[in-house]
A and B are shown apart, each in its own frame.
Chain A
Amino acid sequence: MEVRKFVLKRFVEIFIIFFVILTVLFLLFRLAPGDPVTRMVDPTLTPEDSQHLIAQLGLDQPMGLQYLYYIKNFLTGNFGNSFHYGETVSSIIWSRLPNTIILFTTSILLSAFVGVFLGKIASWKKGTKTDTWMTLGALVCHTLFLPWLAMLMIWIFGFKIGWFPLNGMISPEIWMDPSSGVWLKILDVLHHMVLPLATLFSIHFGSYLLLMRSSMLDTLKEDYILTARAKGLEEKTIRNKHAAPNAALPVVTSVGISLAFSLSGGALTETVFSWPGIGRELVFAVSNSDYPLAQASFLLIATVVLISNLVVDVLYAYLDPRITY
């Protein structure tokens, strides 16, 4: 019951935050130097078409009404047309979203699991050579400059050795060929995914490792670990059953906090690898002054961050029964 109340409270908070972001974005797009009409309506449209779009977006109305139009359009998923693609923004965004989610979720989960696992070992071997090298390695991986690492990956594994494709998400010749089966297509996507995934993984697992290590060292000082030792349990059982689950809790919170950082990284990775996701679309839209697309992709990324934060909070509430809200 308590948990449900907490979740509801977080839900309301996140809803309010989202509304504020929506409003700030509206104000920014209206107050920035230049004419909002030229910003939201494709200059290459015919006069009738642009008149129609202006009416639809409410750009001929006073500010207050414009805001209502904006909210209504947002709720109905109408973001106008992309200047560059000429299609509706929502159709572009919906086709890119799954690609981002696939890459992003896989990389976060993989780096969190490996980070937690290695952090556990490092804390257990504290003070030894293994620990020193793992900590140093984690620090170095974590501070590598992401776009540069991405370029190195492409250069070494894509260009020099040639194991993996240089960029993109699919090979057209496989997807155009009607005879290729589903498994071949899945394999093809996985093949393209290896390098971006490896890049994101290298950047992220280090921070999880360091966090798990210090959290584990804290946990090992708890009384219940002493109790477990006194009972004569095996070290392995103490480490895996008693210490690790509790020590992993802060890592769950940090996944939530570092999401914003990871999404920026995701956008960079997608851009360098030409992975057709939301982040790349945002960078592309900003470079080409494609304002409707930029606005919508930013909103969507903000939504993803907020929802993931909510998920992490709820997860935490269920994972740690000691916490009362």
Chain B
Amino acid sequence: MVERFLEGWSVYKENLIGKIGLTLLVIFALMALCSFFPPMIDPMYHPMTGVDPQISHATSPSWRHWLGTDFIGRDILCQLLAGARIAFMVGISAAFMSIFLGTVVGMIAGYSGKIVDTLLMRLADMILVMPTLLVVLILSSLFGQLNIWTIVLLIALFRWPGVSRVIRAQTLSLKERPFIEAAKVAGASHFRIIFRHIMPNVLPLSLLYMTFRVTSAIIIEAALAFLGFGDPSTVSWGMMLQWVWKTGHMFQAPYWLLPPGICISLLTLAFYMLGRAMEEVLDPRLRKEVAQE
């Protein structure tokens, strides 16, 4: 296991895109960690409730507020740091759930075949063609303001079909291998075969898809918050952009408009690059291409 990881790492670190992606991720992870400190220094640096008593409108960067303040005098840098935490939380938890669901459904569909397969895959097709953002919008109009965990859950529920298709294809080919046959003869239950023998073989692929799901989860949450349907008790980057837009500061306050957008774009880029580099580690066919260069 460790050897495999080290081997993968040695391929990974040769990859330019992978290195850029990982560096960016480390920077954002540090930002998320730093978000805990400013409110401890002074309550006015709290991203949501902290208001600078001397400021009641948007101000440009100063020593007191390195990135300036928003329309009611909250510190933009603190909001940006808190946003990093939310983005990681949303991205990773939604991606983990959707990957879990997609992997299990894919394995069950591929392993069982027949009617179960057909039904699960038709369901996957159906969800796949639905624009997730718009579905979540409709649901939030019906069920009122959604909190951040409901949003995460909904994103997970609508983003599994892509993964399950890939995992199903992989399972179909694994099913024909001798070791599965051997397990069957040895009397292993279906449950055991799926989770003990098939799962370890599809997990690397699931992990790869997880990086792409993180990207899409972050984008969907940000877009939702931007349109005004985010969780009002959290400060996400999408929310910050909504404040810039709705309060009409778009043209006057570039110090406020630029940072959240750059952060969302770079974080999704980082995960996307991570995924593409991992693809090369997992797929020797792609790897050879790189070696030839």
Give residues in A with beta carbon < 8 Å to B.
Answer: 13, 17, 20-21, 25, 28-29, 32-33, 126-127, 132, 135-136, 139-140, 142-149, 151-152, 154-155, 159, 217, 257, 259-261, 263-264, 267-268, 271-272, 279, 282-283, 285-287, 289, 291, 294-295, 298, 301-302, 305-306, 309
Contacts and interface: CB of A to CB of B under 8 A. Distances in A.
B133 A267 contact: yes
Q: What 6 A-B pairs have minimum CB-CB distances, sorted nearest first? A: A148-B261, A264-B133, A32-B142, A286-B141, A143-B269, A145-B264
Interface residues of B, number: 47
Given A149-B261, A152-B261, A264-B133, 15 more contacts: A28-B138, A32-B142, A139-B17, A140-B265, A145-B261, A151-B241, A152-B257, A155-B250, A264-B131, A264-B223, A267-B133, A268-B133, A282-B134, A283-B227, A305-B130
Contacts of A159: 251
A305 B250 contact: no
Contacts of B241: 145, 147-148, 151
Contacts of B132: 260, 264
A306 B227 contact: no
Contact of B219 (A126, A145, A272): A145
A311 B141 CA distance: 31
A143 B129 contact: no
Mostly, the A contact residues are helix
28 contacts: A13-B122, A17-B125, A20-B126, A21-B126, A33-B144, A126-B289, A127-B293, A142-B272, A143-B215, A145-B222, A151-B257, A155-B250, A155-B254, A217-B289, A260-B130, A261-B131, A264-B134, A267-B134, A268-B223, A272-B245, A279-B134, A282-B137, A282-B138, A283-B137, A283-B227, A287-B228, A294-B141, A305-B131
A155 to B, nearest CB: 6
A286 B131 contact: no
B191 interface: no
Contacts of B251: 155, 159
A47 to B, nearest CB: 26
B96 interface: no
B16 to A, nearest CB: 8
B152 to A, nearest CB: 17
B141 A260 contact: no
Contacts of A146: 223
Interface in B251-290: 251, 254, 257, 260-261, 264-265, 268-269, 272-273, 276, 289
B139 interface: yes
B229 interface: yes
A266 to B, nearest CB: 9
Contacts of A145: 219, 222-223, 241, 261, 264-265, 268
Contact of A305 (B129, B139, B226, B261): B129
Contacts of B254: 155
Contact of B138 (A126, A147, A286): A286
A285 B134 CA distance: 12
Contacts of B139: 28
A127 B17 CA distance: 13
Contacts of A29: 142
Nearest to A33: B143
B128 interface: yes
Interface in B187-244: 215, 219-220, 222-223, 226-229, 241, 244
Contacts of B142: 28-29, 32, 291
A132 B122 CA distance: 39
